[in-house]
Amino acid sequence: MSEKIKNISVLMPAYNCGKYISAAVKSILNQTYTNFEFIIIDDGSTDETEQVIKSFADKRIKYKKVEHNGTSAALNYGIGLCKYEWIARIDADDLNPPQRLGAQVQFLENNREIDILSSWSIYFSDPAKILFFLNEPLSHNEIYKYLNLHNPINQSAMICRKSIFDKYKFNESLNSNEDYELLYRLRDEYRFANMPEYLVYTRLRENSRTARGNRSNLYDMLNTNAFRRMVDSKSKGDHFYWASVAAWLNYFYGSRQSARGYFRNSFSLKNLTAYFTTFLPDKYFFKFIDSHLKYRIKSFFKEKSSFKKELSLLLK
């Protein structure tokens, strides 16, 4: 018999998100699953974030404003305030449909081996424009492998055992990708899963921390692993795989010049396209990367009407 989850904690860090945070808060308060506390950590905002949060008269909200020290520090502080066994995350500019928490609680009750759970996601821009759908890998083994290059766990749909966060903290020296860095450290010890449901609408902003943050720490961690695995490879197949990972790590996070060397040795249409884009000036290169063209093309023919309607309701 599956063990029931009686209560959960929802944790939201916020910094100068007054323009967006009202809809994000409403998306949590309107969940069909209602047995939760809602911890909101204001990381020293200087806009109207505090006023917006205090306009909600819901006893489940526990608001704390701290000195501005970054998202990692805000998360670590907020985790210490969470009371329950499971912590669900959401960022202050993202949205969850009403069924998110209930669907995840039911999944976890039926799959007790899972420690960290997230879902597929829909990316959008203002005003209520769906950009693309992202169907991340579902199983632990697929997620484990995917973490060599990208983070397939959307933070605004993630629910995790509190005991994990009590043992492992977010790296407060990072100004972006703190979630990816932590999950990479956790992957050998805990079990991951994604649900094949769209349980989060992720707002894509040009000035987001993820898009503009320093990625050097992330690159060093991932590239060190890839290079070591490539050197230690026992077969041509393994060597080719890790060389490919190293190429794309340099392309996304490191040296485009180094990436070219890898791409020249492995011809394909995908690699050829990447090779030529490495010669673009920084402005246009990062614009190309941030366009997520591959996902937009894959999402072009997907039926969007019901999701557009849901997104519009969430943004009211």
Q: Tally the residues of the chain.
A: 316
Distance CA 13, CA 154 (A): 15
Indicate the SS3 state at residue 194: strand
Identify the pLDDT of residue 208.
55
Return the half-sphere exposure (C-beta side, CA atoms, 13 A cut-off) of residue 22: 11
What φ, ψ does residue 98 adopt, rounded to 5°? -60, -25
Return the half-sphere exposure (C-beta side, CA atoms, 13 A cut-off) of residue 27: 30
* Pair of tokens at residue 220: 């060093």
Identify the pLDDT of residue 1.
46
The partner residues of 9 in beta bridges, in order of sequence, read: 37, 87
- Is the pTM higher than 0.95? The answer reads no
For the chain (316 residues), the mean pLDDT of every run of 10, in chain order, is: 85 96 98 98 97 96 96 96 97 97 97 97 92 97 96 97 95 89 95 98 75 69 89 88 91 91 82 92 91 92 94 95
Indicate the SS3 state at residue 10: strand
Q: What is the dihedral of CA 225, 229, 232, 233, to 10 degrees?
A: 180
Distance CA 127, CA 146 (A): 31
Distances from the Cα of 287 to the Cα of 205, 263, 282, angstroms: 12, 21, 8
Distance CA 45, CA 23 (A): 17
Contact 271, 252 (CB under 8 A): no
Distance CA 135, CA 114 (A): 19
Contact 149, 245 (CB under 8 A): yes
Q: Which domains does the chain have, with CATH numbers?
A: 8-204 (3.90.550.10), 216-291 (no CATH)
Indicate the SS3 state at residue 211: helix
* Pair of tokens at residue 249: 């790590």
Amino acid at residue number 109: E
